[in-house]
Structure 1
């Protein structure tokens, strides 16, 4: 009866009666009931009289926006967010904010409105580290999943893992959702198949459930396409990490130029034996061993310039997603690293008489040998890990589900 009177008062605009009813009855209960029934006019009048009522929580710690998100009423949700936009972050007793609720219930219009106001709420983690995208897959809401992927689905969020290391693909495979797997593959935002805390990829999970998944053949083909993808490169992280090495090499090359091996002449003087002037500040080796010093300077210049070029490409990489920049930066870094290594060898030869017979050719051979050995070691380790994984899957498949009983 009170709700009917409240509705009638709101309909005819009887503010006096509306205020009286709100004072004599439970205003929060009436507001939440009006939201559940989608009575926008009642909600508008109640909030006009007492806007702070929108901030109140019910016994389940749900706000008015939680209820509007669950019911899918865009008008009421917009009005509530105008009053208190911070409600997008509030958690209910299930640790879910209103955006999570809208995603779970499949209310796409409300979800889009919330994302326009505050898209960062979508990144909030729930119990056991699940994201809003995990919830969409878990509750079979492909529509809201697409909205989240298109609006806030950067690589980190789409490839996020929960506390068990499960990604969206793991969830989709476990629940046999071919449409989700197909959409994630076509979106191009999912990286190669990653392993959960149990060491299994989504394809491994599918293989374990062979014969149970009705869409197994098609899903397997899609997941194999994930496996064949090249490893995604985190360009900003690559730029940040490599920039340190490039700056260090440039600093070393600059220091070698202004403080050459063997030092510089401290004062200007004339050498009567050779008939040459020694100018203060010039390199000693430039006078004593000019041929080798010229080679040293040439290689040092290559190291310095190539490291500067690498820094330029790395700075471009941080603000671009074009693969050509990290490739050029990597090439420049290899050149600068090789050059600074040769510069080190020349420094040893110029300053140590015992290295005279050693020669720069031997230094280059040793450097190349060490580099080749390291690359071979990396190749062997990678091949061993890959082979071990294939061997485990082979024996697991050969063993099958049968068990042996010993009497």
Structure 2
């Protein structure tokens, strides 16, 4: 009989009857009566928003009051969780009242079923006002993940598209207050944008161009644009760009030194070609020449042309590398739009300079080393073989990475299109009401 009277008072919100029952039997609340859903009277009062009954229970000087606040129903939720789910803002605000049991604040910060905190529940059940109240009180719950690795941003896109549309206002609020966590991935390696595209059955192109979609969805797209939301794939590609910037910062000094040395070597190879230059002036005879002209140009014109080409390629590509590094060093970090492309161009320039200077070295050795009865000497053979062994792996490395670099640059351009369109579609007050 006492149990029925107690629950009847809780359902009706009759705090006077509840107080009288507790005075008649001080141990009544200690007995922890539960209904079929394993809910106590505090659960019932919180669900129905009966503030006076909740205060009466929380202020009751009982040894079990604290545990009553933390008691869980069949779904693993305590009274504070249920108050948030049903949007009972007046019940949630009791946390700021000094005379209320400390267990009420602890109940708000407790984790519910499947690792959801009270903020997850507010978002899942679209309780915007409760979320606005609880965010300053429970800031550590903003980036917290549940058992599925979902933050409150993921939870905003939980369920079917109709449920997502009903959360349009809540999503806009999240975009204004918690956009710093919009690109966190869940346990399935998905961001909030990935979930939204799945729910709305949109492609990445539809998201970027915002075409052929209804007003509510368009409003959500606008919020995601402004929050710079990205898919998991785009984030992975952005990581490649960040790694490229880090590579530039760490390797620029070493690359500068190597490029300078190669440029010096190529310059010297032209000033002092193998065999030296003519010192005299002879316009007659089989080899007419002037002082300062290359002897190799007269004696081995075919090899000399190849030496000039390889040395020039090495010199120009090294200067290009040096110039790119100097320009990069004078620019802010965010100025370069496609860091992956910059790194690819640097690698191409360095590849050309290293390969060209290697060829120039092989030609020089072939000219300087003596021939044996018209055949290549051992020195020449060794020089040619070593150069080929050096160049072929380098060429293979360059070719195998060319496709990956091309793909990274292409995706990075798509990423920049998304970031540059952060203004999103024109939608001053574009969010409509979900169905």
Q: Pick the TM interval, shorter chain.
A: 0.3 to 0.5
Give the structure with higher Rg (CA). 2
The two structures have a TM-score, normalised by structure 1, of: 0.47
State the structure with bigger RCO (CA 8 A, min sep 6), 1 or 2.
2
If the length of structure 2 is used for normalisation, what is the TM-score? 0.45
